[in-house]
Amino acid sequence: MAALDVGFAEDFLKKLSDCTHTTPLPLEDQARATAALLSQYAADSAVSVWKFDEDHQSLACVVGLSPDQKAFSTSFRFTSNNAKNLIEELSQGKPLCVDDLSASPWFKQCVSDYFEPQNINSVIVLPICLNEHLLGTIFWEHRGQQQHEWQTEHLLIATTQIDALALSLSQNKAKPSPNVSEDTKDLRRELDSRKQELENALAELRTTQSHLLETEKLVALGNLVAGVAHEVNTPLGVSITAVSHLDTALGGFENTYQKQTMKRRDLEEFLEVCHETLEILHNNLSRAAEMIKNFKLVAVNQANDVLEDVMIKHLLEALLKSLKHETKKKRVVIELIGPADVSIKSYSGSLYQIFTNLILNSVIHGFDAMEPGECHIRIKFSQIENGGAEIIYSDNGIGLSAEARQRILEPFFTTKRKSGGSGLGMYIVNNLIANKLHGSFTLLEPEQGFACKFTLPKHF
């Protein structure tokens, strides 16, 4: 299961508050409210509430809501005869989260009897308890041809509905419990407690997210320093060699002069060496100075993220020079397409981080199995009607698998774990665009390679 995302937590807390009621609802109304909440986080899903008999040996469906929110009922019962493993597991109050029912030891006895006819292939099943008394279960069923991969978020969402369903289920009995009023108070306290726990978890997530962003920024800056140092080493090395050559030529020229054997040809050759050496020194030292200048521009902006007017093309040109040590390994051709005057008021450091992560992702993941010279990146940028900017980034690499496409924006998801991948690159890209720059990020589906589009506002 994936790690919990801050954006999800904030969205869910709001929706949870909107659907939390101060008094218990009738069972079907509560099931409908639960189904409406859960359906927002898993398409084609149904919700059903099942009640245990007194001996916890069978489960009968009390109410169900289909994916289109229509109530349904079934005469099918899970019993110790047709679902022994399932009944034993659930009677112990254990939650079940199954992506593939056909491969699950708990459901294999009853797959053909209940799940296949309903076209159910994945399910979350949670026990419903009230004051430590097991009343029944909730089934969150995914219906369709393809299996559904449940995430941590899904389990959390379903868990928050247990208490409300427990009270509604207890009131659904033929004889009302004399302790319903007290149960209601206990449940309200429990709901408030769980909501507080979620809010505390969200606060911790925000703090952790901030630390992760700073850590990743420092890592990127460290890699940039190492790369620039390596790149600067080449022109400086050539310059040192040229100076050494000039020193040798000067020694020979001086020796000829002292012996008074100098000829016109000796002077001409020495002057030629001086001119050549000076040209080499000028070219290489200028190259090193340009690298250091671009490094300072990128490094300062990444370390001190300030709101300023940003020319997109100028920013990208400066960044590409700083990343040359990474892109030259595969001789990556990077094409910038767009007018030079496309500009926005934004945080240049965050933009450097975004484009750095995208380019390094292409080099490390997309071009890993490709030959040098075959790798292409295209960055297309334009000014849009509201004065903001639209950027389309694409490469011709291997692209994304179905799993990677689904999980690429999750924190810590990486296909290069054994090679030291942190799994934070694209998570940070999406987070910076959505939360810091107030833009929007969209994964595209190109015929080849990877592509994404993001829009950024004109100003804050």
pLDDT digits (tens, 9 = 90+) for 277-293: 888 888 888 777 766 76
- DSSP codes, 413-455: --S-GGGT--S-HHHHHHHIIIIIS--EEEE---SSS-EEEEE
3-state secondary structure 224-275: HHHHHHHHHHHHHHHHHHHHHHHHHHHHHHHHHHHCCCCCHHHHHHHHHHHH
Report which of residues 85 and 411 the model is more confident about.
85
Q: What is the pTM of this model?
A: 0.45
Report which of residues 194 and 83 the model is more confident about.
83
Q: Enter the DSSP assignment of 356.
A: H
Tell the residue number behind the tokens 């199995």, with chain if given. 369
Residue 6 binned pLDDT confidence (cut-offs 50, 70, 90): very low
**In the predicted structure, residue 177 carries a pLDDT above the cut 50:** no
Q: Which pLDDT belongs to residue 16?
A: 46
Q: What is the mean pLDDT of residues 188-197?
A: 68
* Residue 399 identity (one-letter amino acid): G
CA angle 269, 271, 276 (to 5 degrees): 95
Q: How is the beta sheet containing 333-337 ordered, strand by strand?
A: 333-337, 376-383, 389-395, 451-456, 440-443
Q: Which domains does the chain have, with CATH numbers?
A: 6-177 (3.30.450.40), 210-281 (no CATH), 305-456 (3.30.565.10)
Secondary element (H or E) of residue 378 = strand 376-383
pLDDT digits (tens, 9 = 90+) for 353-375: 899 889 988 998 889 889 998 99
What interhelical angle do 180-258 and 264-303 show, nearest 10? 170
Distance CA 164, CA 301 (A): 50
Instruction: Say how many Å lie between the first and final Cα of the chain, rounded.
Output: 36
